[in-house]
Chains A and B, each alone.
Chain A
């Protein structure tokens, strides 16, 4: 009986090996071309299925419209006010010029250049973000392929780990988190390639990609710290292999470049803080927001568990990630030491990140994106383990893994599509509220002779500058909780020329007034008052 089973497995292995050999392309150029084509086809189908192209024309909308419009406002102000890269501006201010400190605005500047070339359309900002994430995924796919040496499985893994509704929503979006992940993945690819080739070019590209990701999102500094830890571990001969004692050949060279990278990134953040202080306009959080007591941490944990966990990944993806972690723990002796170390250091680094930014996790789903490299590396480490086991013992294991992964991805894809559609469907206005009325008001304002620099008071808008951005006006907005005194102070401010109200009943209740004679236009439920000339 046992012998029979052995024979069956041997036959299966033989057949699988035959097919595998048939599938291998011998021509190097053709092999590279096929690699790229497979990725492009798979990713475009994946985006198309989920609905990325369907909603790519949307203006900032849905969940976290506030943060989206803040970023989009930087690009719009470059385009409309001043293309000076070192003076990023935002829509919300009544004194000064609106100059504010922000993370390195390279994406928004790129968007502004596109606006200059082709005219204003937020699709360019979304496309830049989408392309950066896609490029990151492409390099992750190449990285996986370096270990797994199977194009189909590599592309499947690259897509499987990115099947996070949160990541997908912020991929063609205005936020820096997803593009930062893209640069992180590029950085990791060049780092691991450098370890293999020891070419300075790869080291420089690694440092360049990581400096960009840190400039865009400061928390990505984790990568530099991980590599410094690896340098130390290597000095302690932790990675000692049979044929070579160290994985790094020039420790000092790597360390020097990392320090230079950190200095460059820190310089920008220092400059951004200076802008905040100098122009008295702090619009973006550039510092950690920590939780100082246990009860608050517990509350945040409950919110995340009840609200966000189902948005981070689908049930099926959690199973894949869970199996990867368990697989790594059980079979850690057989895992690739470098990949395992990166995964573990990523986990430790992310624990610190969560500690420093826990408060932000409560209402900000996108903070999870910075944790995703940890998931990417755990799945890569586990898959590498499976493939090596498969190559050594049973080739059929790899086929079974592909089949299981296929069905797992199928379910996760359906889940992602549903979540993506919900987040982008106009009928839902996901949490932030209905801002559609503001989206096409600008031409009407210009027709009335209102300039974009004429200051507006927008009531009621709980975002940072969502309504002001959508109508392209400078000014200030007040939220639901505003008091009569606050409104009165704004209305008496000579700088404010116009008032836009989306709920006149509430406005009149908080601040009884006789502004009816000042109405100059109405639009989709919005009322515009002229306060003074």
Chain B
């Protein structure tokens, strides 16, 4: 009888999922808006009838967005998921999507980014991407108050980095 119980328990363990679970805190779709431009310019794609953001100056940023973290997630392990459509004219692109956490005094704690080069399967064509960044409170040793996300063009000459819209999801490890 006991043996059966042990086997039963082991079988239960087998079917028990051990994945890390993330809880969605916030999500936004950042679209190109001529009122909120930074280092980018807003252009119109006539074939698809939509506006998109273009960065063509090195070390410039665009599609900036801010996420204020609720108190219970300020020291949580965060996963920031980005997805969208991008285009470039440069085979070895230096385009990034960056994340910068800030503390309660508005001091930037650092930044981290996703290099989009991998997602450009063709040049001068819209390519889809989805990637994520993990932010650990332990790595910065400061609670996060605010998270900034933005597109960024690194040291590129003659590169035109286009971003249709940027979908951002902020998740916290349960």
Contacts and interface: CB of A to CB of B under 8 A. Distances in A.
Given A48-B14, A504-B91, A525 B6 contact: no
Contact of A38 (B7, B18, B132, B134): B7
Nearest to B123: A522
A505 B91 CA distance: 11
B33 interface: no
Given A23-B2, A152-B6, A504-B91, A524 B13 contact: no
Max chain B Cβ within 10 angstroms of own Cβ: one of A34, A45, A502, A525? A525
B42 to A, nearest CB: 27
A45 B13 contact: yes
B120 A525 contact: yes
B99 to A, nearest CB: 13
B105 interface: no
A388 B2 CA distance: 23
A19 interface: yes
B10 interface: yes
A437 B13 CA distance: 38
B92 interface: yes
Contacts of B121: 523-524
Contacts of B132: 427
B117 interface: yes
B10 A437 contact: no
Contacts of B3: 23, 25, 34
Max chain B Cβ within 10 angstroms of own Cβ: one of A37, A41, A502? A41
A441 to B, nearest CB: 9
A45 B92 contact: no
A519 B18 CA distance: 47
A434 B114 CA distance: 13
Contacts of B107: none
Contacts of A503: 92
Contacts of B119: 524
Contacts of A522: 91, 120, 122-123
A41 B7 contact: yes
A49 B7 CA distance: 18
B10 A41 contact: yes
A45 B91 CA distance: 44
Interface in A29-65: 34, 37-38, 41-42, 44-45, 48-49
Given A41-B11, A49-B18, A523-B121, A505 B92 contact: yes
Contacts of A254: none
B2 A504 contact: no
A533 interface: no
Interface in A488-533: 502-505, 519, 522-527
Interface in A170-199: none
A45 B18 CA distance: 10
A42 B10 CA distance: 7
B74 to A, nearest CB: 23
Interface in A397-424: 417
B93 interface: yes
A206 B109 CA distance: 61
Interface string B1-27: 111001100110110001000000000
Nearest to B134: A427
A459 to B, nearest CB: 13
A22 interface: yes
B10 A45 contact: yes
Contact of B10 (A38, A48, A417, A504): A38
A19 B2 contact: yes
Which 6 A/B pairs are nearest by Cβ-Cβ distance?
A525-B117, A522-B91, A45-B14, A41-B10, A49-B18, A525-B92
Given A417-B18, A524-B118, 10 more contacts: A38-B7, A41-B11, A45-B13, A434-B118, A436-B118, A519-B91, A522-B120, A524-B117, A524-B121, A525-B93
25 contacts: A22-B2, A23-B2, A23-B3, A34-B3, A34-B7, A37-B7, A38-B10, A41-B7, A45-B14, A48-B14, A48-B18, A436-B118, A437-B118, A502-B92, A505-B92, A522-B122, A523-B122, A524-B118, A524-B121, A525-B117, A525-B118, A525-B120, A526-B91, A527-B91, A527-B92
